[in-house]
Structures are given as C-alpha cells and as structure tokens.
C-alpha cells in the first residue's frame, strides 16, 4: 500500500486525456499533473531538446514525491531513452507499449495505421514494437502536426469544418490503405476521436493511448503493491509552466465532468534529473 500520488506529465494539456482515463480506472489515487504549456509543442522539436525537457518534467514530479511516473505524451514516450528511465528512483512508463499491445490485440488483418507528432513518427517507436507483436503487420504511419494546435485551441466540436478539412487532408491516404486499426499516437488526439472515427468509418478500431496506459498502470500498481487502499476520492493537483488563465476551460474540455483541482504555475527550467552531482545512472559522479 502506498498513498503517494501518481505523477503524470505531457508537453501541454493532451496528457489530461490520460488523466481522465486514470480517474476512471483508479478513482482512489491522487495524481500530480504537469503540463508544459509554456513550451508546447514538443513534437516538432529535435531529439536532444525533447530529452532535456523530459528530464526537467521528471525532476519536477520527483520533487512532488510521486510513486510512479507516467509520460502521457507520445513524443516523450518515443524519445526519452529507456535505459535512462530504468534508472529513475520510481517506476516509469510511457504510452507507446500499452497502445501498441492494444492495437496488436484489436487488428484482424494486420494492417495498422499510426498517427502522431513528427517526433513520434520519426522515432519509429510504434513501428518497432508492432513488428515484434504482429510479425506480418503492414504498417502505415503519418505525422499530423496540426492536430495539436487544433485541440489546444478547442477546435474539437462535432462537425467543426476546419478540423474536418485537416482530418481529410491528413488521413485520406491512410484510409485508402484499408487499415482496420488506427493508433491515435498522441495524447491530444483522443479529443478528435469522434471526428476521426466518422472519417475513417466504423470498421476501423481507434486506439486511445491514455486508455490503454491507464489499464496497464492498474495492473502495474497491483503487481508492485503500490496502490493506495481507497476506491474513490482521489484528487488531481495541476501544474503548468505558462499562465494558469483559461486553464479551467480547457481542463473541462479534456477532463469532462470532473471539475479538476487547483492549478499552479511553476518555473520548470529550475528542475532536472538527475540532481546536480549525480550521473544518469543515479550514482554519484567521480
Ligand atoms: N501530447 C503530445 C504527444 O502525445 C503531443 C503534443 C506536442 O507536440 O507537444 O505526443
């Protein structure tokens, strides 16, 4: 039994789609969420910058005494080195593994589409894992960089003409390949699930990385005996790196009926991992 909170982070607010799923699956757990709203998007940045940002995000969550860290960001999950994650002082997961396993279970034909940020698609993270899970898979990947600003600006309502146009532009080729499963490989995209689903058609299964990861985390916390003993009443403490103004409105959009908890702005640049004087394997330098 462990009453410490779960730490969740994303480049912005997309990770709140994972928080929503975590609250559904683990309603008794407390969550500390960090959204790097001052530096979003991560997906169009270079690898070293993304890793540097991830280290700061992780350093901040560790300063909040979390028991588990979830990178609710396809971009960080695809870029942050697993060898480094393995040496963190608490367990760490991204969203790629659980989403890929869900897609492998869902596909009937082995024709799987992956959409995500430029960094996620470029990394080949989903493709590598899916090739192991479904050896004869035919994979079709596409970066959809405009989806994140559309979501962060609230262009997610049914029938939104701008979003429909962008979806058609990005996804027509993918639809024509005849895929039967599509991984929404960025945590912002589940907010477009209905619009994307309408475009792709009912025969295409859409995989929500936040949902897949929340279910996997439930199992992981059990296995590690890290759950707290409550079945309801978990809270969420939000932190962002830009102004908190307007956060409540977007929070409702991402979290649905859950009103959310207090939100605070922090200076993320002052955090980092590992702390000064230690190398990346957690040992003292020298
Ligand atoms: N939510 C992030 C992801 O899952 C995307 C946003 C960004 O580009 O920073 O990749």
Q: Is the CB of 42 under 6 A from ligand 1?
A: yes
Q: Is 73 a catalytic residue?
A: yes
Ligand 1 atom with the shortest distance to the CA of 10? 1
pLDDT value, residue 286: 34
Contacts of 209 (CB under 8 A, 6+ apart): 18, 74, 95, 96, 98, 99, 183, 184, 185, 186, 187, 190
pLDDT value, residue 280: 63
Contact between residue 74 and residue 120 where contact means Cβ atoms under 8 Å apart? yes
Q: Is the CB of 19 under 6 A from ligand 1?
A: no
pLDDT value, residue 55: 98
pTM of the predicted model as reported, rounded to 2 decimal places: 0.94
| Strand order across the 68-71 sheet | 92-93, 68-71, 6-10, 31-35, 236-240, 263-265
Contacts of 87 (CB under 8 A, 6+ apart): 280, 281, 282
Q: Is the CB of 10 under 6 A from ligand 1?
A: yes
Strand partners, 114: 141, 183
Strand partners, 237: 32
pLDDT under 70: residue ranges of the chain: 253, 257-260, 276-277, 279-286
pLDDT value, residue 152: 83
Probe ligand 1: pick from 42, 123, 144, 213, max atoms within 8 Å of CB? Answer: 42
- Report how far ligand 1's centroid is from the alpha carbon of 231 (Å): 30
pLDDT value, residue 123: 97
pLDDT value, residue 285: 34
Contacts of 159 (CB under 8 A, 6+ apart): none
pLDDT value, residue 204: 98
pLDDT value, residue 180: 98
pLDDT value, residue 279: 66
- Of the residues 96, 179, 186, 240, which is catalytic? 186
Mapping DSSP onto H, E and C, the string for 235-249 reads CEEEEECCCCCCHHH
Q: What are phi and psi of 114, to 5 degrees?
A: -130, 125
pLDDT value, residue 162: 98
End-to-end Cα spacing for the chain: 37
Contact between residue 190 and residue 210 where contact means Cβ atoms under 8 Å apart? yes
- Of the residues 6, 40, 73, 182, which is catalytic? 73
């Amino acid at each position: 039994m462990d009453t410490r909170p779960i730490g969740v982070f994303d480049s912005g607010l997309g990770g709140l789609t994972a928080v929503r799923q975590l609250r559904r699956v683990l309603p008794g757990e407390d969550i500390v969420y960090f959204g790097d709203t001052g530096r979003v998007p991560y997906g169009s940045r270079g690898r070293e910058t993304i890793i540097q940002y991830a280290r700061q995000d992780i350093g901040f969550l560790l300063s909040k005494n979390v028991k588990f860290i979830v990178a609710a960001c396809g971009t960080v999950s695809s870029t942050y080195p697993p060898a480094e994650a393995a040496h963190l002082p608490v367990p760490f997961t991204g969203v790629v593994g659980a989403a890929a396993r869900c897609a492998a279970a869902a596909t009937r034909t082995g024709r799987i589409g992956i959409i995500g940020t430029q960094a996620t698609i470029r990394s080949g993270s989903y493709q590598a894992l899916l090739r192991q899970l479904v050896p004869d898979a035919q994979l079709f990947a596409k970066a959809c960089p405009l989806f994140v600003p559309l979501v962060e600006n609230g262009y997610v309502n049914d029938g939104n003409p701008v979003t429909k146009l962008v979806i058609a532009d990005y996804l027509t080729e993918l639809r024509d390949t005849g895929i039967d499963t599509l991984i929404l490989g960025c945590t912002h995209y589940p907010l477009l699930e209905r619009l994307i689903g309408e475009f792709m058609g009912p025969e295409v299964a859409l995989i929500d990385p936040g949902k897949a990861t929340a279910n996997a985390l439930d199992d992981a916390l059990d296995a590690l005996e890290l759950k707290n003993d409550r079945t309801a009443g978990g809270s969420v403490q939000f932190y962002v790196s830009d102004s908190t103004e307007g956060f409540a409105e977007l929070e409702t959009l991402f979290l649905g009926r859950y009103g959310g908890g207090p939100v605070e702005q922090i200076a993320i640049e002052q955090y980092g991992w590992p702390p000064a004087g230690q190398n990346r394997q957690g040992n003292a330098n020298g």
